């Protein structure tokens, strides 16, 4: 496994890290095997969050036993000092550790949220105190809106930035990459496979490693995925012309208005698994697996037409997708 420096934190992190969202879908025993295999293959950067249900718990159960091998990153949606204080303590307890290597302001997506977090009594002030106390070693920010992250980087105390970057969303990222380099901010890439929409995982990861990023955090919920992704970080082979063409063709099929499976839309009060429905629709429309997608759609407990159009999912979507309309379209295609 190859390693890079996480910006001005000075931490040496594996170029392939571990995204902690998918471990919510596996049992504790399965998660233990997956995480241990990642560590065995040299993956040392693990990203989770307070909002990822039992992800902190599952990662902590393994990582606290192999603490010296792991760089643990978590994050909180809290913007107030009071909220952040509570979340730091919850993270320490749930992970079962004495300190957290990187604590991040999670999914800051508008100016009001950024200003609140950076205010004198806000979340950042509490993180800086926790840093002085040694329970938080480094501080970062995550988000999906580049303009907000560019503004946030004016704050010197933010040492890392985590944002989506992949073969589909490469346009416009250079300004943020350049500013990160200027500010010596560590770059953590989320959604490297565009939320699973890019099926050629190896090519998608190798594409990103050509850029000066610190680590890439694909979500993994199987040992096979861990082994495949770790191999990319070990070999570090740049794409050749034919491979780049294949990836460009796949990215071109996706366009811009598609679900990245970030799962911020969940839970749906009607029980609709929104990311799963859009994943199945992708198989139906992009990969010509119509019968397969329809069959699995029929097995879902709540179908797309159960949507009552409350709009809560759209309020939470960081990509501002018209989810209600997209669900209606999916119902027409898949509900045959």
* Tens-place pLDDT, residues 156-213: 999 999 999 999 878 778 999 999 999 999 999 998 988 777 888 999 999 999 999 9
Measure the CA–CA gap between 201 and 206, rounded to whole angstroms.
9
The mean pLDDT of 311-333, rounded to a whole number, is 92
Domain with CATH 3.20.20.100 in the chain: 3-240
Higher pLDDT, 144 or 255: 144
Query: Each residue of 55-108: pLDDT tens digit?
Result: 999 999 999 999 999 999 999 999 999 999 999 999 999 999 999 999 999 999
Q: What are 139's strand-pairing partners?
A: 103
- Which H/E stretch holds residue 225? helix 223-235
Helix (H, G, I), strand (E, B) or coil at 138: strand
Q: What angle do CA 262, 233, 28 make, to 5 degrees?
A: 50
Model confidence at 134: pLDDT above 80: yes
Would you state the pLDDT for residue 253?
Answer: 76
**Residue 320 pLDDT class (50, 70, 90 cuts):** confident
Would you state the pLDDT for residue 256?
Answer: 64
Would you state the pLDDT for residue 171?
Answer: 72
Helices (H) and strands (E) in the chain, counts: 14, 10
Model confidence at 133: pLDDT above 90: yes
The mean pLDDT of 129-151, rounded to a whole number, is 95
Contact by Cβ (8 Å): 201, 218: yes
Measure the CA–CA gap between 80 and 63, rounded to whole angstroms.
29
Measure the CA–CA gap between 212 and 192, rounded to whole angstroms.
14
Q: What is the third-level CATH fold of 3-240?
A: TIM Barrel (3.20.20)
Question: What value does the mean pLDDT of the chain take?
Answer: 93
Would you state the pLDDT for residue 255?
Answer: 66
Query: Each residue of 218-275: pLDDT tens digit?
Result: 999 999 999 999 999 999 999 999 999 999 888 887 766 778 777 889 899 999 999 8
Model confidence at 35: pLDDT above 90: yes
Would you state the pLDDT for residue 287?
Answer: 58
Cα within 13 Å of Cα(162), Cβ side: 29
Measure the CA–CA gap between 180 and 186, rounded to whole angstroms.
7
Would you state the pLDDT for residue 266?
Answer: 87
The mean pLDDT of 22-34, rounded to a whole number, is 94
Helix (H, G, I), strand (E, B) or coil at 234: helix
Would you state the pLDDT for residue 15?
Answer: 98
Task: Round to the nearest angstrom and report the end-to-end CA distance of the chain.
Answer: 47
Q: pTM of this prediction?
A: 0.83
């Amino acid at each position: 496994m190859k390693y890079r420096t996480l910006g001005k934190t000075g931490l040496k992190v594996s170029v392939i890290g571990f995204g902690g969202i998918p471990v919510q879908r596996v049992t504790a025993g399965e998660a233990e095997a997956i995480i241990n295999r990642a560590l065995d293959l040299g993956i040392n950067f693990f990203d989770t969050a307070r909002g990822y249900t039992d992800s902190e718990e599952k990662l902590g159960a393994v990582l606290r036993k192999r603490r010296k091998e792991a760089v643990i990153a978590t994050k909180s949606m809290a913007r107030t000092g009071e909220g952040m204080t509570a979340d730091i303590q919850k993270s320490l307890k749930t992970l079962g550790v004495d300190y957290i290597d990187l604590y991040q302001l999670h999914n800051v997506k508008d100016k009001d949220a950024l200003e609140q977090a950076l205010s004198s009594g806000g979340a950042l002030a509490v993180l800086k105190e926790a840093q002085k106390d040694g329970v938080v070693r480094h501080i970062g920010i995550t988000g999906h809106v580049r303009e907000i992250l560019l503004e946030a980087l004016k704050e010197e105390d933010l040492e890392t930035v985590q944002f989506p970057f992949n073969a589909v969303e490469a346009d416009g990222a250079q300004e943020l990459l350049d500013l990160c380099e200027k500010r010596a901010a560590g770059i953590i890439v989320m959604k490297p496979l565009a939320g699973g929409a890019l099926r050629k995982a190896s090519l998608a990861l190798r594409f990103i490693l050509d850029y000066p990023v610190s680590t890439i955090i694909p979500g993994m919920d199987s040992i096979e995925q861990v082994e495949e992704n770790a191999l990319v970080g070990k070999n570090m082979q740049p794409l050749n012309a034919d491979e780049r063409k294949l990836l460009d063709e796949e990215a071109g099929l996706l366009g811009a208005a598609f679900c990245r499976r970030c799962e911020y839309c969940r839970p749906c009060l009607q029980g609709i698994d929104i990311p799963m429905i859009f994943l199945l629709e992708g198989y139906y429309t992009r990969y010509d697996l119509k019968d397969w997608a329809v069959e699995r759609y029929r097995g879902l407990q709540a179908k797309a037409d159960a949507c009552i159009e409350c709009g809560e999912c759209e309020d939470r979507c960081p990509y501002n997708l018209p989810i209600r309309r997209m669900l209606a379209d999916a119902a027409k295609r898949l509900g045959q």
